[in-house]
């Protein structure tokens, strides 16, 4: 579970119970990455809203592109929990003939990515590893593969979100729990 206590779904009441319904899986379970916020309802709400904005709201970036970034940033940060969730989600989103790209990203390999996907991941790597070295040339490289300013903003949001959540997961010892939903699910 985690280094700090959480509140199981069966014990949640009031606003927490309502949020668990909102952030939970179709089977009523709540992923540990969300449940770790149970002691601070506002933190749970804010985390879920950031997740939805970064990964599920309308964007010029595809869901698969965002899952690629999620997988690689999480790999760089050593966050096995998020790598498991998001590489699995990426595999589901990719066509059958490209699913090996998810396994490649888990290992840090980019060979099966197209030029646009590589540019996204390389930008994510630099922003994650050496953010102080970012410059206008990094944004130009994204424009050169067809990204507009909205897509670049959404990319930075996705990268920032995963750097945040990886630190929550690692800092609080969140693990994939027994009975937790299949990684990569999106609550309906």
In a domain, 116, yes or no: yes
What per-residue confidence (pLDDT) applies to 181? Answer: 47
Tell me the two tokens of residue 108.
Answer: 């840090």
In a domain, 12, yes or no: no
What per-residue confidence (pLDDT) applies to 36? Answer: 97
In a domain, 17, yes or no: no
In a domain, 9, yes or no: no
The SS3 call for residue 118 is helix
Residue 24 φ then ψ, to 5°:
-80, 175
Give how many domains the chain has, as a whole number: 1
Integer Cα distance of 71 and 68 in angstroms: 5
Question: Which residue segment(s) compose the domain that 115 sits in?
Answer: 63-166
In a domain, 48, yes or no: no
User: CATH number, domain at 85?
Assistant: 1.20.1290.10
Q: Is the pTM of this model over 0.85?
A: yes
What per-residue confidence (pLDDT) applies to 51? Answer: 95
What per-residue confidence (pLDDT) applies to 116? Answer: 98
State which residues of the chain have pLDDT below 50: 181, 184, 187-188
In a domain, 100, yes or no: yes
Integer Cα distance of 65 and 114 in angstroms: 11
Model confidence pLDDT, tens digit, residues 80-100: 999 998 999 999 999 999 999
In a domain, 140, yes or no: yes
In a domain, 118, yes or no: yes
């Amino acid at each position: 579970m985690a280094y700090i206590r959480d509140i199981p779904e069966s014990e949640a009441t009031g606003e927490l119970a309502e949020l668990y319904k909102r952030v939970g899986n179709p089977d009523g379970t709540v992923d540990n990455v969300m449940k770790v916020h149970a002691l601070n309802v506002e933190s749970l709400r804010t985390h879920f809203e950031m997740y939805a904005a970064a990964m599920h709201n309308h964007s010029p970036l595809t869901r698969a592109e965002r899952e690629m970034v999620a997988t690689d940033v999480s790999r760089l940060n050593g966050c096995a929990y998020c790598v498991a969730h998001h590489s699995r989600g990426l595999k589901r989103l990719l066509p059958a003939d490209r699913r090996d790209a998810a396994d490649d990203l888990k290992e840090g390999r980019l060979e099966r990515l197209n030029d646009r996907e590589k540019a996204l991941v390389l930008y994510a790597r630099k922003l994650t590893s050496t953010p102080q070295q970012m410059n206008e040339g990094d944004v130009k490289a994204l424009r050169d593969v067809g990204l507009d300013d909205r897509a670049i903003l959404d990319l930075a949001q996705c990268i920032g979100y995963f750097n945040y959540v990886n630190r929550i997961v690692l800092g609080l010892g969140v693990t994939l729990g027994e009975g937790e939903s299949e990684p990569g699910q999106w609550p309906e």
